[in-house]
Structure 1
Amino acid sequence: MHGVYDWVTVLLFGAIATLFLQRSVGRAVAGDRVLAYLPPALGCAIANYLGNSGWHLPALLLLAATIAYILVRLRPWIRG
């Protein structure tokens, strides 16, 4: 891990994975599906690639969209 994008995307992916694991052992949250976690995971991977390739603006926009998706769709503040 050499750059800022590596650290940011790995931390964000870790948060997504933690949320998934936490919800998989708790009570079911309405509308929570396994496939809902795929877009933010892909967003992290693609943003990391773009950022490391020098495409900073698209990488930052994709990171912002990924965070917005997590907040709107996955709703991490709702406990399962």
Structure 2
Amino acid sequence: METPYDWITVGIFAGLIVLFMQRSTAETEHEHDSLWMYLAAGAGCGLANYLGNKDMDILGIGTIVVTLAFIFHFLKPFSSRKPL
């Protein structure tokens, strides 16, 4: 853990883990949460970290922004979902 990209992407990934665990153990089922969405977001974190560590700062930051947009649009971590 040497660069800001390491810290930022690991933080995002840790948030994904918490969100996945919370939703997978909840009594209600979320209709739009599928495993591939978490996989895509995790892959985005890995790609952003790789690009940032290879001194491709614009691409790394852009990938972080796109990954966060994907998470907020599809996984909706802060929405109040009603039980089905």
Q: TM-score range by the shorter chain?
A: over 0.9
Name the counterpart of 1:5. 5
Name the counterpart of 1:55. 56
- Listed as ranges, the gaps of 5+ residues in structure 2 are none
Q: State the secondary structure of the residue aligned to 1:76.
A: coil
| Matched residue count | 80
Letter in 2 for 1:16: L
Of all paired residues, the percent bearing the same amino acid is 36
2 CA distance for matches of 1:20 and 1:10?
15
Deviation track 1:44-74 (CA, whole Å, cap 9, x = no partner) reads: 0010010000000000000000000000000
* TM-score of the aligned structures, taking structure 2 as reference length: 0.90
Instruction: Please say which structure displays the higher CA radius of gyration.
Output: 2
Letter in 2 for 1:24: S
Identify the structure with the greater helix proportion: 1
Deviation track 1:23-42 (CA, whole Å, cap 9, x = no partner) reads: 00002111111111111100
Name the counterpart of 2:25. 25
The runs of 4+ residues in structure 1 deviating greater than 4 Å are none
- Listed as ranges, the gaps of 5+ residues in structure 1 are none
* TM-score of the aligned structures, taking structure 1 as reference length: 0.94
Q: Report the RMSD for the aligned CA atoms in angstroms.
A: 1.1
